[in-house]
Amino acid sequence: MDQRIIHISVNGKSYEREVETRRTLADFLRIDLKLTGTHLGCEHGVCGACTVLLNGHTARACLTLAVQADDCEVTTIEGLAHPDGTLSELQLAFRECHGLQCGFCTPGMLTTLTEFLNENLSPTDAEIRDAISGNLCRCTGYQAIVDATLLAARKLREKRV
């Protein structure tokens, strides 16, 4: 078995772990670190549920090897709330607008839209839909997710002034 020791920071906490090199980052998070908030839908990069932030940028955790995240900072759904446990503006807006139903796609939606709102605080409806084009949701029809993102953007803009 080909194994390596990796050093990885997940949601601000440092880990040193020996991993099999074929272990995907998604399985590493879920099985080795017991962070099961990252969901696995298709395991071939189509559904977007496993999206995490790798050094601040979204990536499919099912298409990344854990060994490739060596010396990287990973943020998962578990790391989006503030350290005291209060939800982020985006999470609050998802609750407010009913931006989720079954919740399976939600971790990927939130990580993707967190990156998106870091780049663009005045998004249009079309830009939001483009941003989440790589995340499949079978419940909401996306409208409530778009509404939640617009609300979060407005709240974040207000906070800035």
Partner 1 sequence: MKPAPFTYHRPQNINEALKLVAELDNYKIIAGGQSLMPMMNFRFLMPDHIIDLNQVTELSSISKEGSFLFLGSMTRQHTIHTSAIVQESAPIITEAYSLVSHRQIRNRGTYGGSLCHLDPSSEQPCFTAALDGVIEVASKDGRREVPIAQWTAMYMTPDLAPNEIMLGAKLNIWPVTHGWSFMEYSRRHGDYAVVGVAVLVNLNKDMHIEKISLTLCGIDAAPVRLNIAETSLINHPADEEAIQTATAEIENLSNIMEDALNTADYRRHLAKTLMRRAMTVAFDRAKQRIS
Where does this chain bind partner 1 (CB under 8 A)?
1-2, 4, 20-22, 24, 27, 43-45, 48, 51, 54, 57-60, 62-65, 67-68, 112, 115-116, 130-131, 133-135
In the chain, count H helices and then E strands.
5, 5
Query: Do residues 51 and 60 touch, judged by C-beta distance below 8 A?
Result: yes
Is the CB of 10 or the CB of 49 nearer to partner 1? 49
Is the CB of 96 or the CB of 127 nearer to partner 1? 127
Is the CB of 64 or the CB of 106 nearer to partner 1? 64
Q: Minimum CB separation from partner 1 for residue 1, in Å?
A: 7
Cα angle for residues 86, 95, 133 (degrees, 5° grid): 110
Q: Name which of 108, 68, 67 is nearest 90 in CA terms.
A: 108
Q: Which residues, other chains included, contact 141 with Cβ-Cβ below 8 Å and sequence gap of 6+?
A: none
> Can you tell me the distance from the alpha carbon of 69 to that of 56, in angstroms, rounded to the nearest whole number?
12
Q: Minimum CB separation from partner 1 for residue 134, in Å?
A: 3
Q: Minimum CB separation from partner 1 for residue 121, in Å?
A: 17
Is the CB of 134 or the CB of 139 nearer to partner 1? 134
Decide the pairing of beta strands 13-20 and 51-54. unpaired
Q: Minimum CB separation from partner 1 for residue 158, in Å?
A: 26
